[in-house]
Structure 1
Amino acid sequence: MRLGLLHERAWLGDLLALGSGLLTVVAFAPYSIAPLAVIGPALLFLSWLEATPRRMAWRGYLFGLGLFGFGVSWITSGLSLFGAHMQALALPLASVFVLVLALYPGIMGWVASRFAGLSAALRLILIWPALWTAFEWLRGTLFTGFPWLLLGDSQVASAPGGFAPVLGDYGVSWLVATLAGLLVCIVACRRAILRIGAAAMVLVLWFGVGALRAVDWTHPTGAPMRVSVVQGNVPQQTKWRPETFMRTLTRYRDLTRAHWDSRLIVWPESAIPALYRQVAGDYLDPLAAEAASHGSALMVGLFVKRGKKIYNAVASLGAAAPEFYFKHHLVPFGEYMPFKHLLGWLYRRMDVPMSGLSPGHGGYTVQAAGQTVDVSICYEDAYGDIVIRGLPQASLLVNVSDDAWFGDSLEPAQHMQIGRMRALETGRYLLRAANTGISGIVGPKGEVLALADQDRTEVLTAEVRPMGGATPYVRLGNTPVIALVFGVVLLGWFAGRLINRSGNHRGQES
C-alpha cells in the first residue's frame, strides 16, 4: 500500500490501525500465531508515517480499541458473575475499561509525533519501539497496573523469547517492537542501503536472540521430584453456596489421596472457599498428617483471618507447622473496592465474595516438600518484578489461580501463557493450579510438560527438578530495560530539538 494513499484517504490508515490492533491479539494464546506480534505493530507504525500528530494519536487509539476490545473482552464475563444487578452493567463497564486502556497507545501516538524532526529510519528502529516498551511499562505500573497483552508474552515459544531470561518480558517486547520497525523500514525507507540493512538486522536479531534459548542460565540442585496439580473444576456459580461446601472439600480430598506418591500436591486459589480456622481442625490437620505419613506436602488456596483483616492465602501443609503466603497485589473491584466514597452505588449492586481483602505482608516464599517455593496468587504472576522477589532462593515457582470468573473466554489461555513467561524469565519449573483451568506444569524454558483441559476435573502429574542460580533478569529485574528505553526516548528528543534548531538557524541565515 502506498503511503501517499494512506495520506490522501485518511480513513484507510484509520482502518489499518484498528485492524492491526485486532490482528495483534491473534499473536497471543489461544491462537498463538506469534509473528503477528511483529506484523500488528508494524502496520500501526506504517499508518503513522506521514500522518499528522492528531492522526497519529487517533490511530494509536484505534489500535488500542482493537487490541483491548478483542483481547480483554473476557472482562465482560467476569463482571457478569458479580451478581444479577451487574449483568446489565457488565458490557458498559467493560467498554469503559477498554476505552481507558486504549488511551495508552493513543497518547503513545501523540508522543511519537513529537519526533518528526528525526529520519524515518531512526523513528522506526529506535524511537517508536522504545516508546512502545515505555508505554507497556506505564500501563503495567500506573494505577496498580494492567500488564496484560504485553508483546513479550506472545513470544514465549518463539525465537524472541530467548531474550526473556536476560531482560525479561519488557525486553522481549522491545525486541518485537524493534523488529516491527525494521519490517516497516524494509518496505518504506527510501534508501536501498537502509532497506538492505534493516533486512539484515531482522535476520541477525531473530536468529541471534533465538540462540539464547540454548543457554542454561540455571541448574538443577536436587534429584527429580514427582509433583501433582489438582484442578477441582468447581463452577464459580456454585462454589460459594453453603450446600456445595462439603462436596467441594470431599472432591479435593479424594483427588489428592489418589496421588500420595507425589512429593508436592498443589490446589488452586480459594480451592477451599472458607477461612483456614474454619476447616483446620476437622479437615486440614488430618489431611496434613496423612500427607506427611506418605512423605508428601500440600499447598492449598484458602483465606486466613488475622485480627480484623482477611487475606487471600496459600497454606503449605505437611510434616512441619503450617506456613502461609498472603497475596500482596490485590485485584481492584474483585478483592478490594477502591474509591468507596465515589462508587458506593456500584458496590451495593455487586455480589463479590471475599471482596474486602487486605494486601499481604511478609515474604514471598514458603517451605514445602523440602523446597523453598516462590508463590504467586492469580493475577500476581502477570508482574515479573513480583515473582522474582522470592528468587534466587526459591527452587520452584507455584501459581494458584481461579480463572473460572472468566468462563470459556480468552483469559484462561492468555493467563497460562503469562505463567509460562515467568518460568522462562526465571529458569524455574512452574506448577500452576487453576480451579477450572487452564492448569499446567511448565519447564524452565517455558515449555509445557503437562496441561489440563479447561472445565474438567483433572490431576496433572510430572517430574520436575529443583533449580538454583539466577538468570540476569532475576538479578537485575526491569530496571535496565526501562532505563534504556527512556534513555533512548530522551536522546531522541534532544536530537530532534538540535536538528530543529539547526534547521531554523540555517533558515534565518538564508
Structure 2
Amino acid sequence: MGLAAEPTGFWLLAWVALVPLWVVVLRSKIKKTSVLPFAIAWGIGYHGTVLFWITGIHPMTWLGVPWLASLAIALFCWSFITLWGVGLVVVWAKILSIISRKISEQNLNSILTRVLVGTALWCSLEWFWSLGSLWWSSLSLTQSFGNLVILHLGQISGPNTVTAALVAVNGLIAEAWLINTSRNRIETRTKIAIYLLPILCFSLAHLVGFYLYIQPLESNPETALKIGIIQGNIPNKIKLYSEGWRKALQGYTTGYKTLADQGVDAVLTPETALPFLWKSPARYQSSFYQAILEKNVVAWVGSYGQVGNRISNSLFTVDGEGNMVSQYDKVNLVPLGEYIPFESFLGRFINRLSPLDSHLVKGDPNQQFKTPFGQAIVGICYDSTFARHFRRQAKSGGEFILTASNNSHYSAGMLAQHHAQDVMRAIETDRWTVRATNTGYSAVVDPHGKTLWISEMDTYELHIGTIQPRQTQTLYVRWGDWLTLVLLILSGVTIAVNLTLKIKSVVSD
C-alpha cells in the first residue's frame, strides 16, 4: 500500500494491498489467532513507507542541534507519527474481527454485511483521526495524482469516498479468496456472484468518477486571471539569517518585477517568502514593497503577522498601492515545529528540549480571504492535508485556491505527496489551484486535477498560469462527508438484521 502513493505512484496496488489483512481478520476465528501483530505490521508497512520523508528534517545542525541528536529527533518523529497511523489499523482490525465472529456465515448476505461494516469502520476512523493534528496518509492519497478518474469521487463526499471504494474492493476480493479456498459447499451461482462483486464495484466506482471527470470546464476570457508564481529557492539553513533575507528580497523583488512586466494580474509567493513581520515599518523600506508601488500589481505575500506577543504564519493580499487588503493566518499548525500541544503543561519541558520556535498562533478556521478578484481559498503548507479546511472556504464563497508552502530540505517524496494533496483538494472543491513553494513543487492544477505546469526541485523559477474563478459547489462542498454517516447507519441496520435472523434460526432449530 505504501508503494501505491507518491513518489512511486503504483496506485493499482492499493486495490489489492489490503486483501491480506482482510483475510487474516476474517480467518481469526478459525485460526484462533490474534489479529494485532498482523495489523501492526501492515500499519507500519503503509504509514512507515508513506511518511518516511519526515526523516528529511535531519540534519538540523544549521539550528545548532548536534548531528546525533538531530538523527534521534528525526527517527522519533517518524516512529511516533507512524505508530499513530498504526493505531487506526489496529482498531479497525480488532473491531472487524469481533463483528466477523458474530457474523461468520459464508453466504452473500453475511459477506456484504462484513464488507459494509469494514468499509464504514475504516472511513469513520479516518474521519476521527483527521480531526487531530497528526494527519497525512489517508488511503485516498494512494490514488493521487495517478488515478484522476477515481479521485473525482471526492466531489461526492470528500476523500472518504475514495477510501470507501478502495476498502470495499479489497474486502470483496478477500471474501472471494476465502470462498475459493473454503471446503464448505456453496452454490455455483453464489460463487460466481461473489467473484464478480469486486470487479463490479471497481468498475462502477471508476465509471462514476469518469462521468465527473469528463464534465467540461467553462472558460470566460473576461474573468480569467493571469497569476505569476515565484519559487524563491532559499534553503532553510540560510533563510532565517541575514544572507537568506538578502537573497529572498533580491529574488522575490526581481521575480515580481519580471512577472509584472509580462502583464500578470497578481503574483503569488511561497510560505514565509519574506521572513519578517509584514506589518512592521521595515516593510516600507524593503525593495519588494517599493516594487509593488512601482508596478501596481497585486501581490500575495508569504510573511509573518503578529497577534499580541506571538506571530502568525500568514499570507497577505497587498494591492497595487501597497495597501494590505486581507490576511490569512495558517490554521493547521505543525505540532512541536510551530506550536506546543498542551503548552500549559508541556511548554517548559519542550522548550528545554527543542531548538525550534514553537509559538505560532493558530488562525481562525472561519476566516475569509478577500482579494480584488473575489474571495480565495487559502492553504499554507500543512493545511493542504485537511479537506474540510478547503471545503469550508469553498462553501463560504472561495472561487480559486492559493497554496503557499516552504518544503525546503525535504526529499522529492514529500514534495510529490504534498502536490498530491493539493490535487485532491482541487478536485473535491472543483477549483483551479495555484501552488507556490520555496523549493518545489510549485504548480498550476485545473479543477479536474490535471497538472498544467509543475516546477523542478531546488531551482529558482518564475511561471505565469491562467486560471478561471469558479462558483460551483460540489456535493461534498454543500453536504460534507455525508457518506461516512450513511455507511455507519447502514452497517448498524444490517448487523441488527443479521443477528436477529441468526437468533430466530437458533430458536427455530
Alignment counterpart, residue 79 of structure 2, candidates 95, 100, 109: 95
Q: Show the 5 A alignment for 1:4-403.
A: 24-52=1-29, 55-78=34-57, 80-81=59-60, 83-85=64-66, 86-87=69-70, 88-116=72-100, 117-118=102-103, 119=105, 121-123=111-113, 125-141=115-131, 143-151=132-140, 154-156=143-145, 157-189=147-179, 191-216=191-216, 222-260=222-260, 261-278=263-280, 279-283=282-286, 284-292=288-296, 296-319=297-320, 321-322=323-324, 323-340=326-343, 341-342=345-346, 344-353=348-357, 355-361=358-364, 363-392=366-395, 393-403=397-407
Percent identity, aligned pairs only, is 21
Q: Structure 2 CA distance, aligned partners of 1:499 and 1:458?
A: 66
User: Are the counterparts in 2 of residues 169 and 384 from structure 1 also a CA contact under 8 Å?
Assistant: yes
Amino acid at match of 2:98: R
CA–CA distance in structure 1, aligned partners of residues 134 and 216 of structure 2: 31
Does the Cα contact within 8 Å between 1:222 and 1:466 map onto a contact in 2? no
1:462 has 2:465 as partner:
yes
Instruction: Output one character per residue of 1:336-391: Cα deviation in whole Å (capped at 9) or x when no partner.
Output: 111343464443232224x2111113754323352321111111121111112222
Contact map agreement 2:3 2:49 (CA 8 A) in 1: no
Secondary structure of the 2:279 match is: helix
1:426 and 1:218 map into 2 onto residues whose CA distance is: 15
Asked whether the 8 Å contact 1:217–1:427 carries over to 2, the reply is no
Which is worse superposed, 223-232 or 90-99? 90-99
Offset from partner CA, 1:319-348 (integer Å, 9 cap, x none): 363121111222211111113434644432
Q: How does 1:476-487 map to 2 (within 5 A)?
A: 476-478=479-481, 480-487=482-489
The whole-number CA distance in structure 2 between the counterparts of 1:51 and 1:246 is 63
**Count of aligned positions:** 477
Q: Secondary structure at the match of 2:335?
A: coil
> What amino acid sits opposite 1:64 in the alignment?
G
Structure 2: distance between partners of 1:92 and 1:430? 34
Question: Deviation of residue 425 (structure 1)?
Answer: 0.7
Go from structure 1 to structure 2 and tell me whether the alpha carbon gap of 1:160 and 1:501 turns closer, same or farther (over 3 Å shift). Answer: same
- How many angstroms apart in 1 are the aligned matches of 2:167 and 2:411? 30
- Measured in 2, the distance between the counterparts of 1:150 and 1:72 equals 13
CA distance in 1, matches of 2:415, 2:34: 35
Contact kept? 1:401, 1:433, Cα under 8 Å:
yes
* Native 8 Å contact 1:298 1:318 kept in 2: yes
Q: Which moved more, 1:409-418 or 1:144-153?
A: 144-153
Q: Describe how 1:414-425 pairs up with structure 2 within 5 A.
A: 414-425=417-428
Runs of at least 5 residues in structure 2 that lack an aligned partner in the other structure? 181-190
SS of 2:448's equivalent in the other structure is coil
* C-alpha distance in 1 between matches for 2:218 and 2:175: 37
SS of the residue 2:229 aligns to: strand
Contact 1:313 / 1:325 at 8 angstroms: preserved in 2? Answer: yes
Q: CA RMSD in A?
A: 2.5
Aligned equivalent of 1:14: none
| Aligned-partner Cα distance in 2 for 1:449–1:257 | 24
5+ long unaligned stretches in structure 1? 1-23
SS of 1:319 mapped into structure 2: coil
Distance 2:217 2:148 in 1: 18
1:281 Cα shift?
Answer: 1.1
Q: TM-score, normalised by structure 2?
A: 0.87
Q: What is the CA distance between 1:124 and its match in structure 2?
A: 5.1
SS at match of 2:34: helix
- CA positional deviation for 1:491: 2.7
Residues in 1 aligned to 2:151 and 2:365: alpha-carbon distance in whole angstroms: 32
- DSSP 3-state at the match of 1:50: helix
Deviation at 1:412, TM superposition (A): 1.3
Query: Contact 1:71/1:149 (CA < 8 Å) preserved in 2?
Result: no
Distance in 1 between residues matched to 2:393 and 2:199, nearest whole Å: 41
